[in-house]
Structure 1
Amino acid sequence: TRYDLRKESSMQPVTAYKIQSRARTILSSRGLFQKKTSLKTAFKQGRRCLRPFWMTLLVAVLLLGYAHADEVIMKNGDRLQGKIVSMESGKLVFETAYAGKVTIAWDQVARLTSEDILVISLPDKETFKGKAITAEDGTLVLKPETGPATEPIAMSQVKTLEPPKPPEKWKFNARVTAGADIEDGNTDNQKYNADFRLGLSKRPHRVTLYGEYNLENSNGERSSDNSLLNLDYNRFMSEKWYLFGNGRTEQDKFQDLDLLWSVAGGVGYQVWESKKKNLSLQIGPSYVSEDYSEPQPSFDNKDHRDYAAGFWAIDFDMWFFNQVLQVFHHDGGFVSFEDSDVWRVRTRTGIRIPIVHHIFASLQYNYDWVNSPADGRENYDSRVLFKLGWEY
């Protein structure tokens, strides 16, 4: 610039503004000076610069996903990557990111590998567990979490294949019902009844607690007073068979029965178990102890008797008409091994009709039979109950 100012006298004077502009132009051409840019322009320039980075990251993520995917190689050479869902009845269900779940003929699969643990079963019910690793066509090799890999297993011998099921959680269920019948005026009667059932289960364990209470007053005097509490524990040994332990207490003042308690154990069989229908059967030996309010001539003037007995129980319920009505039946009893005339049965039969949410109405018939009751007492008690209940 100084040189320009000292040019020949014929050159026009150069103002400070022109000098500054000319200097800026020279420096900018050499990359030594940049104009100030707006924030919006800078953001656009930065985004253009980062675009290759984001594309690279996306490709890396996709490649990483494929690297950790299960892979199925078909006999015709096709390769599928995704997630093994299950295989049974000769059909492999495979889930891909682009086509969802697809069904593949198992006999068309040449080999497969998995990133997660698989459980396979053979026709003889033998099972293996581990990750499917690379093997020859037509075979499976599983690598367990610990220990060596299995010997090659012929894929034609595999009956089922699936990921291991998640650990089962404890399941809780409850049901409470109550009813009342109150008459006043010329008739003075009050009837109250209630029962509950609590269940807690997690295979192989199942615990059920059941209780009930019935109370009646007639013309100011007590006419019925009895209760029952029953605890049942089941230990499943297989899908259907289980061992059980049972404890029961009950009392009935108008049968002169102060206390009956019993313990039982044996084997049970779960015929059905689902939300729609349930049926279980139990049988085994038991020990029964009975205490009465006064000596009984038929018991050799004793107010107590105990005996070894056989025990049985049936528990049934089933929904009908698309869960509009549920039918149920429960019964159980004892038969003395020492005296075949000493036996008792307790039954509960009825229907339940859902009303709204967890609320339901029930109509129930109770029938109890004691073949050898206290002296002067009837063999049976029966009642029809209409109740409202809550179930969870």
Structure 2
Amino acid sequence: MFSNTAFRALLSLTLSLVASPLLADTVWLKNGDRLTGTIKFFDGSKLLLQTDYAGAIPLKWSNVKTLESERELLVKEDDSNTERAKSLRAGDTGQVVLVNGEERTVELASITQIMKPKPLVEDLTWRGNIDAAFDFKRADTDTDDYDLDLKTQARHGKWRHNATASYNRELSDNVVTTDNWDAEYALDRFLDEHWFWQGRLEYKRDKVEDVERQRTVGTGPGYQFWDDELGAFSIAGLLDRTDYEYANGDKTNFYAISGKWDYNRYLLGKAVEFFTTGEVGKPLDNVAEYTFDAEVGLRYKVTDWASLNMKAEKDLVSGGDSDNELDETRYSLGFGVGW
């Protein structure tokens, strides 16, 4: 038979194993409400609390009284003051206690970011999505249209990496009428909370149109209006150099100024995302009066990772030679995955 000591030890171990999955984070609001769930992320003005009873709840940071968590969390006050706390303990109004061997009380107003630590780069955040759309039409003219898009973004400290890629192929009666892909990488270096400097590289390849290859290198300032769990909005102004290679072997290059925007907003408890990105440019040597490239769409989340999407895309080159003018509008409906 077990001794009393062994029995108590076994009972304590069993209770701890049973109770551990029940541990939950707690957030107290200034109006007296007390919410339990899992703290997913805080970056800016909103704290995202994942609950079993209401899904993901965004909480206004200024309305939070205090909070606690038994999980290890990375708490960032500024670029030079980041602590990997073993747990958080509730403090007085507007305060929280970081427990990490020793206890340290910090003001909630001084915290800029809370997240689950990453194994290698602790303050790395990575998000993105892949969207696919397919359109098949069987009539007097059979058409097959394939469209793939990738957008991803990673942030670490004052650096942000942005990457996009897309592929489009269309066949009409088994004849290829569209076959192109493009990729872009942009690196942002934040100078303060909002201002950043961007450098970007872009490459486009087209196997059907006269312009076979397009390479663009650009740099310039940008401004981040906001970037939190409910969405983001940034703009940038760039000085670009673009090189064209034509199907007949000719080459040309020119300099241009351009303005970019990137906006997304989550609605209905993050079930729906409205997004738009684009760029308008003005060549400096009058190759064209202006260029315009933009997309706008909606993304509906079916699960935490799967979504349905619909979007419209517009490509416009105006004022150049008649052979170089372009005016295309495309609509697509498809599905995607996000992280």
Could you state the TM-score of these two structures normalised by the residue count of structure 2?
A: 0.65
Deviations 1:251-297 (A, max 9, x none): 334431111111111111111101212100000211111111127xx
Judged with a 3 Å threshold, the aligned counterparts in structure 2 of structure 1 residues 323 and 376 are, in CA distance, closer, same or farther, namely same
Which residue of structure 1 aligns with residue 277 of structure 2? 330
Paired residue total: 253
Which residue of structure 2 aligns with residue 312 of structure 1? 259
Please say if residues 333 and 343 of structure 1, whose CA atoms lie closer than 8 Å, have aligned partners that are also in contact. yes
Judged with a 3 Å threshold, the aligned counterparts in structure 2 of structure 1 residues 253 and 217 are, in CA distance, closer, same or farther, namely same
Amino acid at match of 1:103: D
Amino acid at match of 2:317: V
Can you give the 5+ residue segments of structure 1 that lack an aligned partner in the other structure?
A: 1-39, 47-87, 107-114, 121-158, 296-302
| SS at 1:255 equivalent | coil
Judged with a 3 Å threshold, the aligned counterparts in structure 2 of structure 1 residues 196 and 186 are, in CA distance, closer, same or farther, namely same
Distance 1:318 1:228 in 2: 25
Please say if residues 136 and 145 of structure 2, whose CA atoms lie closer than 8 Å, have aligned partners that are also in contact. yes
Which residue of structure 2 aligns with residue 16 of structure 1? none
Judged with a 3 Å threshold, the aligned counterparts in structure 2 of structure 1 residues 104 and 221 are, in CA distance, closer, same or farther, namely closer
1:174 paired residue among 128, 131, 137: 128
Which residue of structure 1 aligns with residue 248 of structure 2? 294
| SS at 1:341 equivalent | coil
Please say if residues 256 and 374 of structure 1, whose CA atoms lie closer than 8 Å, have aligned partners that are also in contact. no
Shift of 1:118: 7.0
Please say if residues 317 and 324 of structure 2, whose CA atoms lie closer than 8 Å, have aligned partners that are also in contact. no
1:281 paired residue among 221, 235, 256: 235
Could you state the TM-score of these two structures normalised by the residue count of structure 1?
A: 0.57
Which residue of structure 2 aligns with residue 213 of structure 1? 167
Distance 2:94 2:166 in 1: 56
Which residue of structure 2 aligns with residue 358 of structure 1? 305
| SS at 1:225 equivalent | strand
2:318 paired residue among 371, 376, 379: 371
Larger helix fraction of residues: 1
Distance 2:264 2:113 in 1: 31
Judged with a 3 Å threshold, the aligned counterparts in structure 2 of structure 1 residues 306 and 354 are, in CA distance, closer, same or farther, namely same
Larger strand fraction of residues: 2
1:231 paired residue among 164, 170, 185: 185
2:151 paired residue among 181, 184, 197: 197
Can you give the 5+ residue segments of structure 2 that lack an aligned partner in the other structure?
A: 6-60, 69-88, 96-101
Which residue of structure 2 aligns with residue 103 of structure 1? 92
Distance 1:105 1:363 in 2: 42
Please say if residues 373 and 379 of structure 1, whose CA atoms lie closer than 8 Å, have aligned partners that are also in contact. no
Deviations 1:159-182 (A, max 9, x none): 977899898521222311111112
Shift of 1:116: 5.6
Please say if residues 119 and 163 of structure 1, whose CA atoms lie closer than 8 Å, have aligned partners that are also in contact. no
Which residue of structure 2 aligns with residue 76 of structure 1? none
Distance 1:233 1:223 in 2: 34
Distance 1:335 1:244 in 2: 18
Please say if residues 282 and 312 of structure 1, whose CA atoms lie closer than 8 Å, have aligned partners that are also in contact. yes
Amino acid at match of 2:255: A
Indicate the RMSD between aligned Cα atoms, in angstroms: 3.6
Judged with a 3 Å threshold, the aligned counterparts in structure 2 of structure 1 residues 378 and 219 are, in CA distance, closer, same or farther, namely farther
Which residue of structure 1 aligns with residue 329 of structure 2? 382
Shift of 1:198: 2.3
